[in-house]
């Protein structure tokens, strides 16, 4: 019995390791691909790029559903209409946040460098604490609040250093903060929505991308992008659509790995994993784009990482203590 429990625990940790590793790889790749699309080609249409990615993802999901109908012995994919009233009521709030998260991410990445993208998106944990209390009524310990303060200090130090370097984008920073807010809410609500669709992350990805594709159309209209796309000179070039398709595939896979990471860990762990991943991403970005940063600029990144790590450690210790003292947790 002990051996079986140990094997089960090892399998669980291996699965979590593979999910987190996969999330890191595809997430970093997606950021660099999106940065190329958003600022290194002459197309000022971030909502159009997001729309193409969600449409690509929705098409992939629909193809898998079709395959599961034709070859049910080989493919297993839940066949459910995304337009039933119950599904819309259950999933639409998460899909709205999913849309906002993608839109804010794209706008942030359009205006800031990949290196500063880490600092610009570093307030997710702060919003997670705030919304966990506001939505779930869960209070945060003073030690966790302290590390939240460390993260906030690191964020403002990073903004200050970016400003001194003359490369600060106010709008990009604001979009980064809004992206953090959207991600925090999305992570929390995803954990609550998954049980309503039998913990099926593929089905959630299908719903999210269908609804987001519909939502991005009015956003394109509001942003004046239909005319921009219509007059784009490289619209019929192969190289443009090749990188667009790569971005679309990455958008689908990152959505799946995001849901997997939340499903097999927690909203908190997902946010912490994203922050740690962004640190590695920052180092790669400064190397790839040949950027030279000041000592205090790097210090701000280290402070944010330290605050996030400290927060995660305190949360882990609190959960272990709760597990030891609460009989309900011990039975689970």
- Residue 224's alpha-carbon distances to 35, 55, 146, 174, 318, in angstroms, are 21, 19, 44, 21, 49
How confident is the model over 90-104, as a mean pLDDT? 92
- Residue 309's alpha-carbon distances to 15, 41, 115, 312, in angstroms, are 22, 36, 20, 5
- For 145-154, write each residue's pLDDT tens digit: 999 999 999 9
How confident is the model over 169-196, as a mean pLDDT? 89
Task: Return the higher-pLDDT residue of 90 and 6.
Answer: 90
The predicted pLDDT at position 47 comes to 93
- Residues 264/15, Cβ–Cβ less than 8 Å: yes
How confident is the model over 64-80, as a mean pLDDT? 76
How confident is the model over 179-200, as a mean pLDDT? 86
Residue 293: DSSP 8-state: -
The predicted pLDDT at position 331 comes to 40
The predicted pLDDT at position 328 comes to 46
CA–CA distance, 330 with 332 (Å, rounded to integer): 6
Q: Model's pTM, two decimal places?
A: 0.82
Taking the CA atoms of the chain, what radius of gyration do you get in angstroms? 21
- Residues 128/190, Cβ–Cβ less than 8 Å: no
The predicted pLDDT at position 279 comes to 77
What is the DSSP track for 169-189? Answer: -HHHHHHHHHHHHHHHHHHHH
- For 237-268, write each residue's pLDDT tens digit: 888 889 899 988 888 888 778 778 877 877 66
In this prediction, residue 330 has a pLDDT band, given cuts at 50, 70 and 90, of very low
Residues contacting residue 56 through CB under 8 Å, at least 6 positions apart: 245, 248, 249, 251, 252
- Residue 177's alpha-carbon distances to 9, 136, 192, in angstroms, are 37, 22, 24
In this prediction, residue 11 has a pLDDT band, given cuts at 50, 70 and 90, of confident
């Amino acid at each position: 019995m002990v051996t079986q429990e140990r094997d089960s625990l090892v399998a669980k940790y291996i699965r979590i390791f593979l999910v987190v590793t996969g999330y890191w790889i595809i997430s970093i790749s997606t950021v660099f691909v999106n940065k190329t699309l958003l600022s290194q080609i002459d197309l000022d249409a971030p909502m159009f790029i997001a729309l193409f990615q969600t449409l690509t993802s929705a098409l992939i999901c629909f193809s898998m559903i079709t395959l599961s109908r034709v070859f049910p012995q080989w493919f297993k994919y839940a066949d459910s209409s995304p337009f039933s009233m119950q599904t819309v009521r259950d999933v639409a709030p998460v899909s709205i946040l999913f849309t906002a998260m993608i839109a804010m991410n794209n706008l942030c990445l359009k205006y800031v460098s990949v290196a500063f993208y880490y600092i610009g998106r570093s307030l997710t944990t702060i919003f997670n604490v705030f919304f966990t209390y506001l939505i779930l009524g869960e209070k945060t310990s003073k030690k966790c609040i302290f590390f939240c303060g460390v993260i906030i200090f690191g964020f403002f130090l990073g903004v200050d250093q970016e400003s001194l370097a003359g490369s600060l984008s106010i709008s990009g920073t604001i979009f980064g903060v809004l992206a953090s807010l959207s991600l925090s809410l999305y992570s929390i609500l995803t954990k609550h929505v998954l049980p309503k669709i039998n913990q099926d992350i593929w089905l959630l990805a299908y719903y999210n991308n269908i609804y987001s594709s519909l939502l991005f159309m009015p956003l394109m209209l509001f942003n004046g992008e239909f005319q921009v796309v219509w007059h784009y000179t490289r619209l019929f070039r192969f190289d443009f659509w090749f990188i667009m398709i790569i971005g679309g595939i990455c958008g689908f896979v990152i959505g799946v790995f995001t849901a997997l990471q939340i499903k097999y860990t927690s909203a908190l762990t997902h946010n912490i994993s994203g922050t740690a991943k962004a640190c590695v991403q920052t180092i790669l970005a400064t190397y790839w784009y040949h950027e030279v940063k000041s000592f205090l600029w790097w210090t701000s990144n280290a402070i944010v990482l330290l605050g996030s790590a400290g927060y995660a450690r305190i949360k882990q210790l609190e959960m272990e203590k709760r597990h030891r003292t609460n009989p309900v947790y011990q039975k689970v």
